[in-house]
Amino acid sequence: MFKCVALVGATGAVGRIMRQLLESRHLPVERYRFLASARSAGSTITFQGKPIVVEELTKQAFAGCDLVIATTPDDIARDYLPAAVEAGATVIDESGYWRMDKNVPLVIPEINPQEALKVKAGIISSPNCSTTQMALALKPLHDYGKVKRVVVSTYQATSGIGVQGQKELIEGTAAALKGESYNYTAFKHPIAFNCIPQIGGHKEDGYTSEEMKMVYETRKILGDESIMVCPTAVRIPVSNCHSESIMVETERPISPEKARELFASFPGIKVVDDLHNSQYPLPSTSDGCDLVYVGRIRKDISHPNGLAFWCVSDNLRKGAATNAVQIAELIAKHRFG
């Protein structure tokens, strides 16, 4: 049993979902501590029927913790999480800062659980939300037919930018319907009745930081640097759940029928694929769920070894909170049986 688990960023959007998951999934823990910014410190959260006072995140706050689950901006992860490692804790980090560090495993439990089990006192990184659902969907195809190339377009919800993004979607839409102007702060362009083909800043060769995460993280998770990925990341006026249109070229052809079989038998994936009856994954029906949903599975008619499909997942859950908690459960099972 873990003696003490610290949840960093406990009062944020992802932190709130982590608390719900930790309450319902019964991780073996003697004591929890909730850490957050000075602004939230001193507030009280009811957890497992008991009040827990939120503590300010400091480098000294990790003393006595053997597991730390962190959901913070990159700079906070950079500045504070090494102190948790020095205190002897295993750290599960949701930020992007450590993902491509060669000494830090990037883990999706359904794909590469063994990487997490190598870490005692150290950092385990959880992938970017858009990468997580795509990599999970690619894994059974890669195991069967070896993925060579991926062309992906994302349709990402406003929750990916935080609570403020969701707030501005609602308020901006209401203003647009009334013919009024609205001052957006989370987006560089109006999100109401619009699509914004930029998520993140310019990175390289005209691609954004969000897009390049999908390139580098996918290769690291699947353990194959030869996989070519061409991503386009787009923000759309949906509150929660990211959608992706994915085309895969494999070394040997995979029929749609075989792909459905591979998807259906892989943990963490659910197939919803009945075009005749208009059944396919939707953000509205994936909200609040922990699975990756796959549908519109069809042959890519432009390439003999091509397969196309549609993929939807709750970016706050499997794309963030759920994946981190699953890593914690994996560690607990390995250590405590």
Q: Among all residues, which ones are annotated catalytic?
A: 129, 242
What's the angle, vertex CA 145, arms to CA 140 and CA 149, rounded to 5? 90
The Cα 167–Cα 158 span in angstroms is 9
Buried/exposed code over 4-14 (b: 16+ C-beta within 10 A; e: otherwise): bbbbbbbbbbb
Q: Are strands 269-271 and 292-299 parallel, antiparallel or unpaired?
A: parallel
Phi, psi of 330 (to 5 degrees): -60, -45
Place of tokens 């580098």: 216
Mapped onto helix, strand or coil, the DSSP state of residue 122 is: strand
Place of tokens 């609570």: 163
Q: Of the candidates 147, 307, 134, 165, which has an alpha carbon nearest to the alpha carbon of residue 231?
A: 134
Strand order in the sheet with 2-8: 55-56, 29-36, 2-8, 67-70, 90-93, 122-125
Helix-helix angle 322-336:13-25, to 10 degrees: 40
The Cα 245–Cα 254 span in angstroms is 17
Mapped onto helix, strand or coil, the DSSP state of residue 28 is: coil
Whether the Cβ atoms of residue 94 and residue 70 lie closer than 8 Å to each other: yes
The Cα 224–Cα 244 span in angstroms is 21
Q: Is residue 60 classed exposed, middle or buried when 0-12, 13-18 and 19+ CB atoms within 10 A define those classes?
A: exposed
Could you give the count of Cα atoms lying within 13 Å of 224 in the half-sphere of its Cβ?
16
Mapped onto helix, strand or coil, the DSSP state of residue 9 is: coil
Place of tokens 């494999």: 250
